[in-house]
Amino acid sequence: MASTDVVDEQFPQQGHGFLSRERIVAKPGFNRWLVPPAALAIHLCIGMAYGFSVFWLPLSKAIGITEPVACPADMGTLAQLFTTTCDWQVKMLGWMYTLFFVLLGCSAALWGGWLERVGPRKAGVVAAVCWGGGLLISALGVYLHQLWLMWLGSGVIGGIGLGLGYISPVSTLIKWFPDRRGMATGMAIMGFGGGAMIGSPLADMLMRHFATDASVGVWQSFLVMGLLYFASMMCGALGYRVPPAGWAPAGWTPPANNGNAMITSAQVHLDQAWRTPQFWLIWAVLCLNVTAGIGVIGMASPMLQEVFGGRLIGVDAGFKSLDEAQLKELATIAAAFTGLISLFNIAGRFFWASLSDKLGRKTTYAVFFLLGMALYASAPHLGATGSVALFVLGFGIILSMYGGGFATAPAYLADMFGTRMVGAIHGRLLTAWAAAGIFGPLIVNYLRDWQLARGLPPARVYDQTMYILAGLLLLGFVFNLLIKPVDAKYHMSEQQLRETEPPKPAAAAAGAHSAHAAAGGQGALAIVCWLAVGIPLAWGVWITLRKAFVLFN
């Protein structure tokens, strides 16, 4: 059977349409550095999921405008979804976060295989429609004051867009950068961490602009951001290209010849990958790393305030002894702390993933766990010494490894299972994120409340929590230590390799693509594309740093 016949048999539904995978196979001269900004254009948009809390307080006064209109005490949850006479509670709005990340993990797991078949362009377009369209539905929900429409729009439909948008560039970037797998995925996933840095101040500016005596300005902000995100994500999706079969960077030595047993030259099918012990060990490694990190993110603001109390503002008093004005000053400093560690989170995604190309994925995760254990275990001492700078630096490094864990995971999977179906395998792995999103906050929040109920002073309630999180990292270290190369019995057969072979461009055979193809021209276009995503990201970093200066004033 001819190669093109095999491709058509494997992807019968795609045909040769505009969104088909065959249409985006790169032609000679394509510059591979055009792909990362396309991925960033999508991840910087969907990363706003982290910043949605900026809408909660305004939405809690959508009817009252200046003060919330309280619902009757006996009003049930179902009635609150449909009421038009009273304002929503923040805890009801906060369910959006749960919907976001549950749907992200589920959609990535369910449709990862579909993404590998149809290619990143079609998946990126669907993600743009879901995320941008979800915001438009939410705008209608705010305008009509129907909470169920918000949950459906941004929570469910938007959550599906999150999952597809998150995994859409992973497989493509790994195939374009087999020589720098960690760096490539780190660049894209860095954008997901940075999306809130752009989206949150943008949302604040829009709400202030649209606010009137009769509106808090949220539905108009949703409308503008939905259209803006849709356009940006469509540009990213249409910018995706996949390398032709047999393409390799100039001068790169394939894994089979580099002597590293932890980087396979074989391929493992999606249907087999999740049956291997390596998949579940990596699942546990990611879950434990994220559980520890997400717990810190969730408690960052109250933790700093309760551990240092009045010392943050030059007052020798505990947290419970401060008056209302002092507490407000403390909250401003804690917000700066939250912003600063988010920068560490973002930078860590690129730094650690890039470093993993040198150290190896297994060694990099070992560093995460060993260094993380030391930092978590020393956190109570850092708090007791009163050194804000050391405390902030310690948790900054912890959060950098939290982000680095996300960015390094796709490259770890490619090393273990090959690149052929790594996007789909990564989609299944993201269920570890959904699980960690439940475990982390539960461990931290319930322990905190339990210890406060026992009468512990606020400055001491996090001590046991830090030791427990350090214990989780010890468990993760053991799981990571157990990861070995995948047994050959799980490798694809010759028939499966033929059936999943990447398509060739219609106009030219893959052999026409030399190893120098992607390094060729289009340099000016690459610069323009990088500026298009780099300028908004730099603006978000500057806004965050400016707020973070409060910490050390």
> Taking the chain (553 residues) in consecutive chunks of 10 residues, what is each chunk's mean pLDDT?
35 62 88 94 93 87 90 88 90 84 89 91 96 97 95 95 93 91 90 89 92 93 97 96 87 67 88 95 95 76 75 76 77 76 90 95 96 90 77 90 94 93 93 84 75 74 83 96 95 87 55 42 85 94 84 66
Task: Give how far Cα 461 sits from Cα of 306, 412, 455, Å.
Answer: 9, 36, 9
Residue 521: C-alpha distances to residues 31, 32, 92, 165, 517 (Å):
6, 10, 52, 28, 9
pLDDT at 12: 41
Which residues, 6+ apart, have CB-to-CB distance to 437 below 8 Å? 98, 101, 102, 290, 294
Pairwise CA distance, residues 339 & 465, whole Å: 22
Rounded to whole angstroms, the Cα distance separating 186 from 243 reads 19
* 398 within 8 A of 293, measured Cβ to Cβ: yes
Predicted local distance difference test score (pLDDT) of residue 261: 74
**Given this model, what pLDDT does residue 5 score?**
36
Query: For residue 36, what pLDDT is reported?
Result: 95
Angle at which helices 181-210 and 523-548 cross, to 10°: 60
Name all domains of the chain by residue range, CATH numbers in brackets.
29-72+79-244+521-553 (1.20.1250.20), 272-486 (1.20.1250.20)
Q: Which residue has the tokens 């106009």?
A: 507
Name the residue with tokens 């650690």.
352
Report CA-CA distances (Å) from 116 to 14, 43, 110, 430.
12, 18, 12, 16
Count Cβ atoms below 10 Å from residue 221 Cβ, excluding itself.
26
pLDDT score of 298: 63
Nearest to 106 by CA among 365, 340, 435: 435
Burial class (CB in 10 A: 0-12, 13-18, 19+), 314: exposed
Q: Residues with Cβ < 8 Å from 524, sequence gap 6 or more?
A: none
Determine how many CB atoms are found less than 10 A away from the CB of residue 206: 19
Burial call 29-57: b when 16+ CB within 10 Å, e when fewer: ebbbbbbbbbbbbbbbbbbbbbbbebbbe
pTM: 0.85
Rounded Cα–Cα distance for residues 160 and 155 (Å): 8
Partners of 268 in the β-ladder? 491
Q: Are the CB atoms for 46 and 129 separated by under 8 Å?
A: no
- Report the Cα 130 to chain-centroid distance in Å: 17
**Which residues lie below 8 Å from residue 15, measured CB to CB, with a gap of 6+?**
none
